[in-house]
Amino acid sequence: MAAIILIIVLFFLISFAGVIFFGAPYLPTLKLQIKTALELADLSKGQTLIELGCGDGRVLIAAAQEGINCVGYELNPVMALIAWLRTRRYSSLVKIVWGDFWRKSWPEADAIFVFLLDKYMDRLDKKCIQYPYKPLKLVSFAFSIKAKKPIKTANGVFLYHYK
Ligand SMILES: C[S@@+](CC[C@H](N)C(=O)[O-])C[C@H]1O[C@@H](n2cnc3c(N)ncnc32)[C@H](O)[C@@H]1O
């Protein structure tokens, strides 16, 4: 029994601590910023939002409630499972992908939402410049792209356009 508990504890530790080596640790976006992000993204029903590092799926749920198709990438297996379970109600709209979003080929979408860390923003900007499906809106909570002026900023959320 003790061995099983130890394995479970280790699994949780590795899942949460491991992500720190590959990207931003888990921290949820607050309700006001989710609302702001979706307003800035200004997507219509049927359009698609990608979330890079979707955590527990709260942004995807809010987007799906507006009829937006969503793809959420999540590296932490525990959070990916939680996001998958929480979004089952919207399974026709939301897809959860477990894995490192830097190593995935991102599908055609109208907007990307992120809440990462400052040090990943330049790399993200380069990926968005190379993204083949334009126009694309990038909405980032808390962290901006240093070399770019955002189109809009509200409540700590930044909007960028790629044409
Ligand atoms: C600051 S949290 C934001 C969670 C969610 N986007 C939200 O706003 O509530 C960052 C999330 O990105 C995930 N993450 C970090 N790097 C990643 C990577 N390379 N691939 C997939 N997920 C990643 C983390 O596990 C964490 O859940």
Say how many Å lie between the CA of residue 1 and the centre of ligand 1.
Answer: 32
Q: Name which of 107, 112, 99 is nearest 22 in CA terms.
A: 99
CATH number where 118 lies: 3.40.50.150
Domain residue limits at 120: 2-162
Q: Name which of 126, 122, 120 is nearest 100 in CA terms.
A: 120
Name the domain count of the chain.
1
Contact of 83 with 60, CB cutoff 8 Å: yes
Given a cut of 90, is residue 63 above it in pLDDT? yes
Q: Which atom of ligand 1 is nearest to the CA of 34?
A: 8
pLDDT in tens, 36-49: 999 999 999 999 99
pLDDT band at 8 (very low <50, low <70, confident <90, very high): confident
- Name the residue at shortest CA distance from atom 17 of ligand 1: 23
pLDDT in tens, 136-153: 999 999 999 999 999 999
